[in-house]
């Protein structure tokens, strides 16, 4: 069987899976990108906790190489983990994402219950504690821990309150969101930030830059910096100075008269919990800001997402570029897409 990638399961893999008992198997795409094969360099033994420790140690050495992980829980039940790091090479991410269903189907879909089928992107998630947290076992009798209750609340944003976030560190993927969930404002603003938002209409010619962050403990959005006359050419520098602790950050920038861009940056090394909270709050925040600006016939016409701040593509905001007739079509298309911009992949950073 094959999917869009055209990659098939090898006989070597089928045999290895057939003989898998109380152990784990790492599956990878062959060097010529034609077959799914077992990683013969990986060997493990011991209980489930030991297996996860060995998996994490092995994958950390080849990070950010994607892989599939199969763990034998019983003779008839297996856990399946699609491990595709965010900063893996784009071609590999596409190959592994488009071949996942082939692997599951070839080995028997009935062997992998949905409750044991995961898509993870962080090395921190390859751990026994995390696996136990996100797996509902039969002995909990439907009683969820505090962290599991919080996870359910965040996965159902329309029912979420600001009660607490506990010790949750599960990363929520964009595909888990629906438009109705994303439009809810999850946090209140502090007084200074609220005043800045209400006065945005009076700064439409001042190249105003506002940066702000989420205070998870106090459950509030706090103003970080507010500056005027920030040139596009110096924007990255100003954003970097406002984010010395390298955590996720929101920004509003008046890059042209009557034009605003919303920027969400999530530096490499950010905590998984912070990544999830900022990502799940973003669209509700943008919706609210557009409602504020609409009172003065203004709106956020661009929304950009980057990892590290130095990845920001300034050509999206530069007046000379965006006013050039030859580039107007691409600018409009970019504004229509209005969010994630893919840059040339960089090498893995130290974590």
On whether the pTM is more than 0.85, the answer is no
Asked if omega into 95 is within 30° of 0 (cis), the reply is no
Distances (CA, A) of 139 to 1, 127, 142, 143, 190: 37, 20, 8, 9, 44
Kindly report, residue by residue over 76-125, the tens digit of the pLDDT. 889 999 999 988 988 898 899 889 989 999 999 889 988 899 999 999 99
Kindly report, residue by residue over 197-239, the tens digit of the pLDDT. 888 888 777 789 999 999 877 888 999 999 999 999 889 989 9
* 45 pLDDT tier (thresholds 50, 70, 90): confident
Q: What does the buried/exposed string (b/e) look like for 218-255 if buried means 16 or more CB atoms within 10 Å of the residue's CB?
A: eeebebbebeeebebeebbebbbebbeeebbbbbbbbb
Contact 122, 60 (CB under 8 A): no
CA–CA dist 262, 254 (Å, integer): 9
Residue 10: the pLDDT is 95
Residue 347: the pLDDT is 58
Kindly report, residue by residue over 232-286, the tens digit of the pLDDT. 988 998 998 888 777 899 999 989 888 899 999 988 777 887 888 888 888 888 8
CB half-sphere exposure, 278, CA atoms < 13 A: 23
Residue 348: the pLDDT is 59
Beta sheet of 249-256, edge-to-edge order? 188-189, 220-227, 209-215, 249-256, 259-265, 300-306
Q: Which residue segments constitute the domains of the chain, with CATH numbers given?
A: 8-140 (3.40.20.10), 188-337 (3.40.20.10)
Residue 349: the pLDDT is 54
Q: Pairing relation of β-strands 249-256 and 259-265?
A: antiparallel
* Three-state secondary structure string covering the chain: CCCCCCCEECHHHHHHHHCCCCCEEEEEECCCCCEEEECCCCCCCCCHHHHHHHHHHHHHHHCCCCEEEEEECCCCCEEEEEECCCCCCHHHHHHHHHHHHHHHHHHCHHHCCHHHEEEECCHHHCCHHHHHHHCCCHHHCCCCCHHHHHHHHHHCHHHCCCCCCCCCCCCCCHHHCCHHHHCCCCCEECHHHHHHHHCHHHHCCCCCEEEEEEECCCCEEEEEEEECCCCHHHHHHHHHHCCCCCCCEEEEEEEECCEEEEEEECCCCCCHHHHHHHHHHHHHHHHHHHHHHHCCCCCEEEEEEECCHHHCCHHHCCHHHHHCHHHHHHHHHHHHHCCECCCCCCCCCCC
Q: Which residue has the higher pLDDT, 152 or 299?
A: 299
Q: How many CB atoms sit inside 10 A of residue 147's CB?
A: 16
Distances (CA, A) of 78 to 71, 111, 113, 215: 5, 6, 8, 39
Whether the predicted pLDDT of 55 surpasses 90: yes
Q: Which residue has the higher pLDDT, 134 or 336?
A: 134
Tokens representing residue 22 in the block: 């109380």
Mean pLDDT for the chain overall: 78
Kindly report, residue by residue over 127-167, the tens digit of the pLDDT. 999 998 888 543 343 444 444 444 454 444 333 333 333 33
CA–CA dist 282, 277 (Å, integer): 9
Q: Which residue has the higher pLDDT, 198 or 69?
A: 69
Tokens representing residue 105 in the block: 């189907």
Crossing angle of helices 272-294 and 191-198, in 10° steps, is: 40
CA angle 87, 91, 97 (to 5 degrees): 80
Kindly report, residue by residue over 166-203, the tens digit of the pLDDT. 333 333 333 334 343 344 567 788 899 989 888 888 87
């Amino acid at each position: 069987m094959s999917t869009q990638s055209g990659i098939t399961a090898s006989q070597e893999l089928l045999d290895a899976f057939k003989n898998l008992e109380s152990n784990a198997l790492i599956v990878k795409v062959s060097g010529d990108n034609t077959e799914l094969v077992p990683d013969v360099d990986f060997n493990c033994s011991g209980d489930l906790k030991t297996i996860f420790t060995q998996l994490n140690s092995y994958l950390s050495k080849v990070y950010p190489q994607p892989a599939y992980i199969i763990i034998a829980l019983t003779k008839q039940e297996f856990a399946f983990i699609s491990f595709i790091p965010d900063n893996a090479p784009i071609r590999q991410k596409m190959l592994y994402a488009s071949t996942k269903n082939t692997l599951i189907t070839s080995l028997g879909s009935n062997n992998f219950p949905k409750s044991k089928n995961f898509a993870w992107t962080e090395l921190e998630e390859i751990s026994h504690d995390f696996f136990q947290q996100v797996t509902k076992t039969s002995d909990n009798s439907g009683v969820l821990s505090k962290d599991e209750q919080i996870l359910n609340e965040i996965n159902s944003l329309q029912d979420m309150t600001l009660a607490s976030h506990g010790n949750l560190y599960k990363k929520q993927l964009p595909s888990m969101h629906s438009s109705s969930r994303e439009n809810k404002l999850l946090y209140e603003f502090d007084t200074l930030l609220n005043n800045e938002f209400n006065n945005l209409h009076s700064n439409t010619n001042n190249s105003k830059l506002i940066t702000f962050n989420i205070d998870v403990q106090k459950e509030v959005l706090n103003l970080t910096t507010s500056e005027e006359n920030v040139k596009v050419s110096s924007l990255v520098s100003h954003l970097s100075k406002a984010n010395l602790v390298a955590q996720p950050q929101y920004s509003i920038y008046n890059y042209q008269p009557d034009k605003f861009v919303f920027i969400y940056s999530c530096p490499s090394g950010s905590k998984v919990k912070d990544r999830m909270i900022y990502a799940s709050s973003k669209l509700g925040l943008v919706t609210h800001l557009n409602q504020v600006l609409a009172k003065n016939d203004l709106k956020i016409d661009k929304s950009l997402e980057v990892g590290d701040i130095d990845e920001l593509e300034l050509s999206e905001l530069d007046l000379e570029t965006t006013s050039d007739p030859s580039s107007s079509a691409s600018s409009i298309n970019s504004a229509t897409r209005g969010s994630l911009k893919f840059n040339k992949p960089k090498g893995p950073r130290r974590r």
